[in-house]
Amino acid sequence: MKVDEVSKCYFGMRQLSAQFALFSKREAAGFLSATFAGHAHMIKTPYYLIDKQKLLGNLEKIAYVREQSGAKALLALKCFATWSVFDLMQQYMDGTTSSSLYELKLGRQKFAGEAHAYSVAWADDEIEEMVANCDKIIFNSIGQLDRFEAATEGTIRGLRVNPQVSSSDYLLADPARPFSRLGEWDPEKIAAVMGKISGFMFHNNCENGSFELFDKMLSTIEERFGHLLEQVEWVSLGGGIHFTGEGYPLDAFCARLKAFSEKYGVQVYLEPGEAAITLSSSLEVTVLDTLYNGKNLAVVDSSIEAHMLDLLIYRLNAKMAPSDGEHSYMVCGKSCLAGDIFGEYQFDRPLAIGDRLSFIDAAGYTMVKKNWFNGLKMPSIVVKQLDGSVEVVREFNFDDYLSSLS
């Protein structure tokens, strides 16, 4: 499929799948009975809704990049690990990459293809099981590489390299921040251990939607580590490259990856997380109460602290579309945290108890970070299949809460 065809397919599906931000009780019931075919009852909120048709648009772009550039794509499980949709995703990707032993085992058991193992620091009691489940291991430091050299003999090994440049706007998420523990940065020290490894991992992009910035940073990597790149067989460029975003120059991206691969004679890997699942999911909630305290407030049956924690950490609002009208509301979560606020949104009429709201783009770093704060009920996980049918694949109850504690 040509890139322009992929784009038309992807953006056409987005238009057809436009999110409704607000439903009355009657409208919500009608919408659910029509869309969730085969379900006699309305699915109880809160729940994450993963739409495979929207997911497919991202996956087709990933497949195009793989075909045109020769790069392989591994799903970054730290961002998204809802294995109920791996049956679709594994058809368009080459495997998974992990940040822990449990993520590694999940990728090995639930996703076809390669399983790459990375951790900021491996513990002694994890090494044997890690080796048994991975195809490649990427050490974060020379110290760990040396320490576990004998235990990983016969396993393909790589090293994380910190190029000391990144695209992150947040110090909290910047792998090149001052005093960073993430990867080795000294070419001389790396050169001394080249006989122990066959590849590198660079992860310095973060929500980077600019091809020009990606190209510039990759050139910096080549300038600093080019003589070492010539000695390895594979290079992972990590995740954080938003190449499935609207208007991203896919052909230029593919050409740059292919040129890099051919110049150094390496297999390139990409580790898309957000790029694989962007705009594919929503968090569906219901208004439980309305108040006024200088502003109109609406309390919903969910919590940004418990169910969209990444947004709270970075002080970002949840996305809602459309958000227009004369009536403004601050939508709040039901936890005891005073700042449990999803954001402020516009509606075409006053909100009422029982109204349904939909926060879009809710797949990345949500389900993997959900928690039991305040003992709030976790959102169910619901999948809309390609044929339009809907399946509740996971529900959580008091027993799950109880078993998470002791």
HSE-up of 126 (CA within 13 Å, CB side)?
A: 18
Contacting residues for 204 by C-beta, under 8 A, at least 6 apart:
162, 163, 165, 166, 167, 175, 176, 217, 238, 240
User: Rounded to two decimals, what is the model's pTM?
Assistant: 0.89
298: amino acid identity, one letter: A
Q: 190-231 pLDDT, tens per residue?
A: 999 999 999 999 999 998 999 999 999 999 999 999 999 999
Q: Which residues pair with 97 in a beta bridge?
A: 76, 116
Q: What pLDDT is stored for residue 322 in this prediction?
A: 83
222: alpha, beta or left? (left if phi > 0; alpha if psi -120 to 50): alpha
Contact 280, 75 (CB under 8 A): no
Measured CA to CA, the distance from residue 232 to residue 219 in angstroms comes to: 17
243: alpha, beta or left? (left if phi > 0; alpha if psi -120 to 50): alpha
The reply to whether omega before 187 is within 30° of 0 (cis) is no
Rg over CA atoms, the chain: 22
In this prediction, residues 172-179 reach a mean pLDDT of 92
Q: What pLDDT is stored for residue 321 in this prediction?
A: 83
In this prediction, residues 20-45 reach a mean pLDDT of 45
Measured CA to CA, the distance from residue 287 to residue 320 in angstroms comes to: 15
Residue 4 pLDDT more than 70? no
* Domains of the chain, CATH where assigned: 52-276 (3.20.20.10), 281-362+370-404 (2.40.37.10)
Q: 274: annotated binding-site residue?
A: yes
Q: 289-319 pLDDT, tens per residue?
A: 999 999 999 999 999 999 999 999 999 999 9
With cut-offs at 50, 70 and 90, classify the pLDDT of residue 115.
Answer: very high
392: amino acid identity, one letter: V
Contact 331, 342 (CB under 8 A): yes
> How many C-beta atoms surround the C-beta of residue 271 within 10 A?
27
Q: What pLDDT is stored for residue 110 in this prediction?
A: 99
Q: 131-150 pLDDT, tens per residue?
A: 999 999 999 999 999 999 99
Q: What pLDDT is stored for residue 382 in this prediction?
A: 97
Q: 33-87 pLDDT, tens per residue?
A: 234 443 424 899 999 999 999 999 999 999 999 999 999 999 999 999 999 999 9
Enter the tokens of residue 3.
């890139």
Q: Residue 286 phi/psi, 5° resolution?
A: -125, 140
Alpha helices for 70-166 (secondary structure H): 86-89, 101-110, 127-133, 142-147
N- to C-terminal Cα separation, the chain = 53
E-strand stretches of 19-101? 22-23, 47-51, 72-76, 95-98
- Strand 356-360 relative to strand 341-347, pairing: unpaired
| DSSP H or E run through 200 | strand 199-201
Q: 188: annotated binding-site residue?
A: no
